[in-house]
A and B are shown apart, each in its own frame.
Chain A
């Protein structure tokens, strides 16, 4: 894991020092968004399952919550993003008139850090209550776990109050998720083209984030399930349900994309359509757009209609990995034309893959830290129906 992180870091600096530093920041931004989305979406999964009192997902929510370890990392990464402000904020030099009250570097920084800070705080407070209901006392607590166990022992006296607080914090997290992810989408992605706007963009981003998160969760659960060294197991009906949820969000993501596309295409207003035309009808982006459509919608849709495949962890991991690749490319499609202006060829290369691996390494480190603190989530054999 550490090796991957170092590799990624190296690739990033290589890109940075090259003739196209914006490529480095482009890769950074895309990966930051993807991995933060996965972390935010996974905690959302747990919160939603709790609020709807779903029983099928009990062992899976523990796994999903482990992604929250990435939250502090994500926050720091967000701050580092501002080192590349010359490239990440192409609107900096432009005269935006009244809009400058919203689109200015300090504003974006304050809003973003406050938003992410509040969201992550809500996420952790949800986890505090949710985990207190889940775990028994650890026999050999160390450090953070010792502190938490002691606090939970005190609170444990009143499980009803704990459950209630978990419910309230889950709702707050869900609200925060919708608002903050929309904000991030508007400020970091939509603003790249400062004269373009789409009211659905925020919602599109947070639906896409949940789709990503479900894919990551499937892969993680499958990997742990297949691993013979761990007692963690997921029964086929749970995989089936998770697969169905993934399929549903595949459709929902595609639907949200179509909602934006059809309105802009049909209205044919130049202010709006130039954004879409560049990304879906002009080279070098058009083939990429079609590739994403096939890989993240058409193929998963057709394949996941089949019942049996949803119960097979290996195939599901493969499909989810394919979808995540497609969504990574979709982020490139959204930010690429703005950051790498007038690109003749796709600004995509080997180093982008390395940067992705770097972020993956960092996320891996966060998750393994979490699991070391709470080994029960992988040690307990799967519960749930």
Chain B
């Protein structure tokens, strides 16, 4: 695929681990200050109480849930790329698999923070953990919120293990090509990997199983998240299409985030020959598919709202399209369903700046989608007397800024300390055939 020799691949990727430039430190400082803003806002909230956020009656779920769903969604496409595309033997995934999987791990970590933040009194989190206690208090596993706890912790654990296992051969390469403290650290974390046939034999089988196990997680975890909403009776939430709709939306936003990350990374680190425009084009084509599914879901929901002739349902959807939050709704429809259609044109797919802009717009659209789904349904449910509006407060914006900063902060730490392109997988496709073998 690339025609690069093994040495060239190693050299290119290992170069990214060299001591960074001044611009890097500036970026780190900026992002870290964003993280501090978030931490400060959270500390303030813990001190004052969750009332400093904008949630109230009737809209009791606000940006914390929106961000939760947003970050879990982003995580899913990383697993799609590294696990599902591995099973489908799509070798175009190899240049971006490592970064995508890393994106997953960080996104899940941040997503997991949000229910915690939403608690307000964070020390009460033990109520959600099935630990024997002298009051014999146990969780209600029938609740979708408990499904969430189980699903997200499973996803976090599996993603971290998958990520680490996938990196083992690469960590060994770094070990072999480094000196001093770095060599010591990488010797430790590469667990004595030497690349003998015995090791590869077990490794490829285990990797295949990892991929096969992570695949149902992609579908099930976001289905569980969607059921946080769908299992209630709130109009606009209680609908059967939510599970596949959320999964498709998650992959949609995640793929867009992959492009948002990969375009600067390939420019800054000189990965142009590894992450070719063809790879980005394939991601863009997949975005077309997910965009179509999301658009189809929008249309179906609207049709069914009318078909049902249920006045409450019809009102929620009328409110979404034409009510107080209509601008958000139309941003959502345009960015998620209409904009990706432009990717049908090859010239759009091949233009890196346009692709970058489209990916950012898609993520903005997906954020608004979660906003519209959550806020309009709860703010406009059965009894007109209890209808209400919602707007996020500064504290919430601070925490949101913190979460985005944390994600990019962790990611730029990653690209400087660990190999951000999988050298092993690139060597596999540099002229030898596809995939990790099974």
Q: Are A182 and B239 in contact (CB under 8 A)?
A: no
Q: Are A263 and B239 in contact (CB under 8 A)?
A: yes
Taking the closest CB of chain A, its distance from the CB of B27, in whole angstroms, is: 38
The yes or no answer to A368 lying at the interface (CB within 8 A) is no
Q: Are A267 and B216 in contact (CB under 8 A)?
A: no
Residue of A nearest to B305 (CB): A199
Residues of B contacting A: mostly: helix
The yes or no answer to B244 lying at the interface (CB within 8 A) is yes
Q: Are A266 and B300 in contact (CB under 8 A)?
A: no
Q: How far is the CA of A231 from the CA of B37 in the complex (A)?
A: 71
Q: Would you give the 0/1 interface string for B240-269, flagging 1 where the beta carbon is closer than 8 Å to chain A? A: 111110000000000000000000000000
Q: Are A200 and B309 in contact (CB under 8 A)?
A: no
Contact among B238, B244, B310 for A259, CB-based, below 8 A: B244
The yes or no answer to A178 lying at the interface (CB within 8 A) is yes
The yes or no answer to A159 lying at the interface (CB within 8 A) is no
Q: Are A198 and B240 in contact (CB under 8 A)?
A: yes
Q: How far is the CA of A251 from the CA of B296 in the complex (A)?
A: 22
Segment at the A interface, from B182-190, B228-236, B319-327: B228-236
Q: How far is the CA of A98 from the CA of B307 in the complex (A)?
A: 9
Q: Are A255 and B219 in contact (CB under 8 A)?
A: yes
The yes or no answer to A256 lying at the interface (CB within 8 A) is yes
Q: Are B231 and A199 in contact (CB under 8 A)?
A: no
User: In the complex where A197-B307, A199-B300, A259-B223 touch, is A267 in contact with B241 (Cβ < 8 A)?
Assistant: no
Q: Are A263 and B231 in contact (CB under 8 A)?
A: yes
Residues of B within 8 A of A203 (CB): 241, 244, 300
Q: Are B309 and A267 in contact (CB under 8 A)?
A: no
Interface centre among B230, B240, B241, B244 (most CB of A within 10 A): B240
The yes or no answer to A262 lying at the interface (CB within 8 A) is yes
Q: Are B233 and A267 in contact (CB under 8 A)?
A: yes
Number of interface residues of A (CB under 8 A): 29
Residues of A within 8 A of B243 (CB): 200, 255, 259
Taking the closest CB of chain B, its distance from the CB of A243, in whole angstroms, is: 14
Residues of A within 8 A of B231 (CB): 262-263, 266-267
Contact among B144, B244, B304 for A197, CB-based, below 8 A: B304
Interface centre among B144, B232, B241 (most CB of A within 10 A): B241
Q: Are A99 and B307 in contact (CB under 8 A)?
A: yes
Q: How far is the CA of A178 from the CA of B248 in the complex (A)?
A: 15
User: In the complex where A99-B309, A197-B307, A269-B238 touch, is A263 in contact with B230 (Cβ < 8 A)?
Assistant: yes
Residues of A contacting B: mostly: helix
The yes or no answer to A264 lying at the interface (CB within 8 A) is yes
Q: Are B238 and A267 in contact (CB under 8 A)?
A: yes
Taking the closest CB of chain B, its distance from the CB of A186, in whole angstroms, is: 8
- How many A-B contacts if CB must be within 8 Å? 65
Q: How far is the CA of A266 from the CA of B232 in the complex (A)?
A: 8
Q: How far is the CA of A251 from the CA of B218 in the complex (A)?
A: 13
The yes or no answer to A86 lying at the interface (CB within 8 A) is no
Q: How far is the CA of A98 from the CA of B314 in the complex (A)?
A: 12
Residue of A nearest to B239 (CB): A199
The yes or no answer to A349 lying at the interface (CB within 8 A) is no
The yes or no answer to A290 lying at the interface (CB within 8 A) is no
Contact among B216, B223, B232, B309 for A98, CB-based, below 8 A: B309
Q: Would you give the 0/1 interface string for A241-272, flagging 1 where the beta carbon is closer than 8 Å to chain B? A: 00000000001000110011011101101010
Residues of B within 8 A of A200 (CB): 239-241, 243-244
The yes or no answer to B301 lying at the interface (CB within 8 A) is yes
The yes or no answer to A8 lying at the interface (CB within 8 A) is no
The yes or no answer to B68 lying at the interface (CB within 8 A) is no
Residue of B nearest to A261 (CB): B240
Q: How far is the CA of A199 from the CA of B309 in the complex (A)?
A: 14
Taking the closest CB of chain B, its distance from the CB of A54, in whole angstroms, is: 9
Residues of B within 8 A of A201 (CB): 240
User: In the complex where A259-B223, A259-B240 touch, is A197 in contact with B230 (Cβ < 8 A)?
Assistant: no
The yes or no answer to B351 lying at the interface (CB within 8 A) is no
Q: Are A267 and B232 in contact (CB under 8 A)?
A: yes
The yes or no answer to A176 lying at the interface (CB within 8 A) is no
Residues of B within 8 A of A347 (CB): none
Q: Identify the B interface with A (CB < 8 A).
A: 144, 216, 219, 223, 227, 230-233, 238-244, 292, 296-297, 300-301, 304, 307-310
Which 8 A-B pairs give the minimum distances between C-beta atoms?
A199-B241, A200-B240, A259-B243, A266-B231, A260-B240, A200-B241, A198-B240, A199-B304
| A to B CB contacts below 8 Å, 8 in the list | A99-B307, A197-B307, A198-B240, A199-B240, A199-B297, A200-B241, A256-B244, A263-B239
